[in-house]
């Protein structure tokens, strides 16, 4: 009789899991693929109709590359693309004037294009695009058509990408930020769930698992910081600035609270590794409860009910564990402080004012009021936002996966 695999999964289960993972990856990029195909086809048709007697391949390439970025970065990506293409075409034309040998022209054009892009302190994507445009200009095009035609192609492709990304299919930045917030909350919940399980076990192996897991939170926390920075540039460079940027600014504040919550979770996880056996067992249900709270929040960031439930559970955990005793050792004192910090940051993230949280924990405020989460704008460049009855239809929430 064949023994089962060590991980308990048969080859059939592995294949099904791999197929599901591949399908998830493709479905997450399906809208971008469809948009890029339509934009490339349209750019090819427009460029071919405006500029005759040449193959306008720069236009569809420019459209696809400009759209190949996150929704909030597509406008800036199109400008970077144009910069790189402009430098590359000029470098290619210059190289063709100097020499008509393909290999020498290609080498010269690539060197000049990359040097010029580096000289203006361009980003790496601009340097690469400049080199690619120079290569295409010298090898595949040569002197078959004037450089102005290729520049017009690039302008058409980038223009189509800008129209698609800024007017027809603008980035719903608030929805994008909330997806990043969900990922960070889920990562925090997974980390605290692992900590809660390790507290119920004995030995150094469980503490080592927790230490190894702490680094896993760095990825979503870095994503939060990048999202916060990119949202500011998106407001300046996209059609969001024509409408009401306040929802994006409000979401930036939410991300700041979430970063503080992540730091509190790290502090709590770190302190548990130095506790004694009895204290670990006492703390285990508290930490597991905090993990459930974060999972509840991540399940639906647009739900006031979920936030109220999270506040109630966090408050119960903080009150159950208490504030500690004056004669506690430093590790125990730090752990009590960490539990209170996590509970505080959860309540602030849910919408309770920071100056009211201490009164809530102390019981001076029996029924804390959790405000409704702000709605997501339907179209970024419109000041009108949907009523709460339409929020579920236009909020862009992802379907839950099992």
Task: Give the pLDDT of residue 154.
Answer: 80
pLDDT band (50, 70, 90) for residue 241: low
Rounded to the nearest integer, the mean pLDDT of the chain is 76
Q: Which of 3-17, 72-86, 275-289 has the highest mean pLDDT?
A: 275-289
Q: Is the dihedral of CA 375, 383, 378, 241 positive or negative?
A: negative
3-state per-residue secondary structure call for 42-108: HHHHHHHHHCCCCCCCHHHHHHHHHHCCCHHHHHHHHHHHHHHHHHHHHHHHHHHHHCCCHHHHHHH
Task: Give the pLDDT of residue 111.
Answer: 93
Whether the pLDDT of residue 2 is over 50: the answer is no
Q: Per-residue pLDDT averaged across 364-386, rounded? A: 63
Task: Give the pLDDT of residue 269.
Answer: 82
Chain center to CA of 161: 21
Task: Give the pLDDT of residue 386.
Answer: 42
Q: Per-residue pLDDT averaged across 27-55, rounded? A: 81
pLDDT band (50, 70, 90) for residue 146: low
Task: Give the pLDDT of residue 375.
Answer: 67
> Tens digit of pLDDT for each residue in 273-320?
777 777 778 888 888 888 988 988 888 888 888 888 888 888 888 777
> Tens digit of pLDDT for each residue in 185-223?
888 888 888 888 888 776 555 556 666 666 666 777 777
Task: Give the pLDDT of residue 72.
Answer: 59
Q: Per-residue pLDDT averaged across 373-389, rounded? A: 53
The least confident of 236-240, 264-268, 348-352 is: 236-240
pLDDT band (50, 70, 90) for residue 396: very low
CATH among 1.20.120, 1.10.287, 1.10.760, 3.30.750 for 170-362 = 1.20.120
Task: Give the pLDDT of residue 207.
Answer: 55
B/e letters for 240-268, b = 16+ CB within 10 Å, e = fewer, are beebbbebbeebbebbebbbebbebbbbb
Whether the pLDDT of residue 20 is over 80: the answer is yes
Q: Per-residue pLDDT averaged across 79-105, rounded? A: 83
Q: Per-residue pLDDT averaged across 68-95, rounded? A: 78
Q: Per-residue pLDDT averaged across 306-335, rounded? A: 78
Q: Is the dihedral of CA 293, 295, 299, 302 positive or negative?
A: positive
**Higher-confidence position of 90 and 171:** 90
Domain residue extents for the chain: 30-164, 170-362
Q: How many residues does the chain have?
A: 402
Smallest CA-to-CA distance from 283 within 350, 340, 237, 330 is with: 340
């Amino acid at each position: 009789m064949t023994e089962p695999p060590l991980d308990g999964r048969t080859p059939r289960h592995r294949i099904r899991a791999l197929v599901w993972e591949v399908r998830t990856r493709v479905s997450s990029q399906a809208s971008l693929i469809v948009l890029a195909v339509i934009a490339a086809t349209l750019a090819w048709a427009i460029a071919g109709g405006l500029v005759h007697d040449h193959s306008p391949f720069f236009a569809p390439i420019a459209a696809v590359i400009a759209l190949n970025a996150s929704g909030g970065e597509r406008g800036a990506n199109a400008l970077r693309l144009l910069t790189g293409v402009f430098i590359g075409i000029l470098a290619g034309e210059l190289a063709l004037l100097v020499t008509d040998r393909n290999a020498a022209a290609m080498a010269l054009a690539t060197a000049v294009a990359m040097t010029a892009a580096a000289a203006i302190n361009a980003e790496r994507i601009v340097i690469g695009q400049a080199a690619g445009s120079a290569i295409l200009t010298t090898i595949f095009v040569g002197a078959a058509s004037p450089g102005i035609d290729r520049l017009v192609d690039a302008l058409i492709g980038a223009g189509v990408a800008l129209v698609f990304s800024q007017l027809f299919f603008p980035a719903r930045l608030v929805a994008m930020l909330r997806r990043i917030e969900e990922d960070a909350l889920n990562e925090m919940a997974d980390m605290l769930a692992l900590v809660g399980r390790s507290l119920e076990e004995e030995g150094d192996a469980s503490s080592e698992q927790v230490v190894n897991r702490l680094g896993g939170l760095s990825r979503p926390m870095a994503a939060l910081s990048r999202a916060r920075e990119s949202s500011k540039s998106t407001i300046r460079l996209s059609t969001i600035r024509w409408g009401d940027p306040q929802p994006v600014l409000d979401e930036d504040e939410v991300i700041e609270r979430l970063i503080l919550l992540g730091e509190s979770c790290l502090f709590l996880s770190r302190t548990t590794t130095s506790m004694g056996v009895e204290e670990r067992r006492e703390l285990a249900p508290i930490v597991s409860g905090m993990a459930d709270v974060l999972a509840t929040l991540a399940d639906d960031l647009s739900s006031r009910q979920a936030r109220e439930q999270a506040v109630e559970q966090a408050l119960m955990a903080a009150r159950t564990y208490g504030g500690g005793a004056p004669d506690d050792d430093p590790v125990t004192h730090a752990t009590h402080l960490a539990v209170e910090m996590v509970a505080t940051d959860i309540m602030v993230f849910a919408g309770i004012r920071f100056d009211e949280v201490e009164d809530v924990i102390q019981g001076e405020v029996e029924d804390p009021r959790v405000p409704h989460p702000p709605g997501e704008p339907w179209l970024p460049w419109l000041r009108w936002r949907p009523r709460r009855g339409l929020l579920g239809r236009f909020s862009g929430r992802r379907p839950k996966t099992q």
